[in-house]
Amino acid sequence: MVGTGVFTSLFGLGYWGNIHSFYYFLIIQMAAGLFQSTGWPSVVAVVGKWFGKKKRGLIMGIWNAHTSIGNITGSLLASALLSYGWGWSFVVPGLLIAFVGLVVFFFLPVSPEAVGANEIEPQQPMKIGESMEVPLLRSERVENDKAVGFLEAWQIPGVAPFALCLFFAKLVAYTFLYWLPFYISHTAIDGKYLSNETSGNLSTLFDVGGVVGGVLAGHISDRLNARAITAASFMYCAIPALFFYRSYGHLSLTLNIVFMFITGMFVNGPYALITTAVSADLGTHSSLKGNSRALATVTAIIDGTGSVGAAIGPLLTGYISTRSWSLVFTMLMGAALIAGLFLTRLVVSEVTEKIQEARSQGDHHNEIFFFSN
């Protein structure tokens, strides 16, 4: 956080230094990205140690709302400071994150053990017909201090499909994050063009939808005990949402807001679910035999793969948008489809498990009815 603050501020100092070198901003941005990328694996590992499997999706969905709230706050702060010079839009947020980084360093307890508490997750009674076989994303809490290897983490069942799904999910999400204000300001809504500041403020509703989507996806995945089904369903629903936003969002401001909110909900829902609850589940997978130091590595692999998509999406949009914005949205719909397809095998596995559970429960009820008569 401190390193991110330093390099973000250096980016803004180019305004007062009258720096116009492309390579200066390129190197500064790459350095800032390097420091930023260390944040997510660390925070997911910390939160994952404080909460067990039960209601993890809902808890981490609510917790993950901070990403969207941060995006909203950052956009509003940058827009408000823009009138004083674009340099302030980088320096002020940079100083803020550096200060909070120091607060985190001195006051954040990284695990229950750090404050003298030991988390013991109570054993849940087995459901009727439930076998002792461990499902794909069921976690283990036995401690093991040996760090997991990079290649070993890739071999954990479910890591590769979810990582590749996130590649395309973040491609869509970050294209909206970076290009939505520009798209809104260059698209006539109800025959009128909005100012840059108004467009930036309006684009934050995409993140508001993301907050709802993250909580909703986490809650649904907890209730169904099916992360893959939930994530894939949200990605498929994002396709018509993207289509409607492009086709009808320009007709009126109300329609633009409604479709933007819905699109944010379906795009950011699986993104939030995969980078939090799914990463925590896979980082404590039974195949690790209780290795407690795998969580950050697994999270880094999944989120890192997604970050490649987050870089490619906005880059491609810069070239494609010069030809047609309809082509951009076609690319985004295609990416959402591919993201869902990567989870097909896991979805089939979860559906099969649900069918077997339903049959087992049905057979058990039939036995009770037979003996009672």
pLDDT tens digit sequence for 315-345: 999 999 999 999 999 999 999 999 999 999 9
Question: What pLDDT does 127 receive?
Answer: 46
pLDDT for 257? 94
List Cβ neighbours of 267 (8 Å cut-off, separation of 6 or more).
169, 172, 173, 176, 206, 210, 213, 238, 241, 242, 336
Collapsed DSSP state (helix, strand, coil) of residue 110: coil
**C-alpha–C-alpha distance, residues 22 and 28, integer Å:** 10
Q: What is the spatial distance between Cα 211 and Cα 224, in angstroms, rounded to a whole number?
A: 20
What does the pLDDT read at residue 132? 43
CA-CA distance, 300 to 43, in Å (whole number)?
11
pLDDT of residue 96: 95
- What pLDDT score was predicted for residue 184? 92
Q: Which residues of 161-183 are buried (b: 16+ CB within 10 A; e: fewer)?
A: bbbbbbbbbbbbbbbbbebbbbb
Q: For the residues of 311-351, what is the DSSP string, one character each? A: HHHHHHHHHHTTT-HHHHHHHHHHHHHHHHHTTHHHHHHHH
pTM of the predicted protein model: 0.76
**Residue 61 near residue 51 (C-beta atoms within 8 A):** no
Residue-range domains of the chain with CATH: 1-108+149-365 (1.20.1250.20)
Check residue 40 and give its pLDDT.
84
Q: What local confidence, expressed as pLDDT, does residue 92 receive?
A: 95
pLDDT at position 118: 67
Give the model's pLDDT for residue 2: 95
Residue 51: Cβ-neighbour burial (10 angstroms; 0-12, 13-18, 19+): middle
Question: What pLDDT score does 135 carry?
Answer: 47
* Residues in the chain, pLDDT under 70: 53, 118-148, 284-293, 362-373
Give the count of beta carbons closer than 10 Å to the beta carbon of residue 251: 13
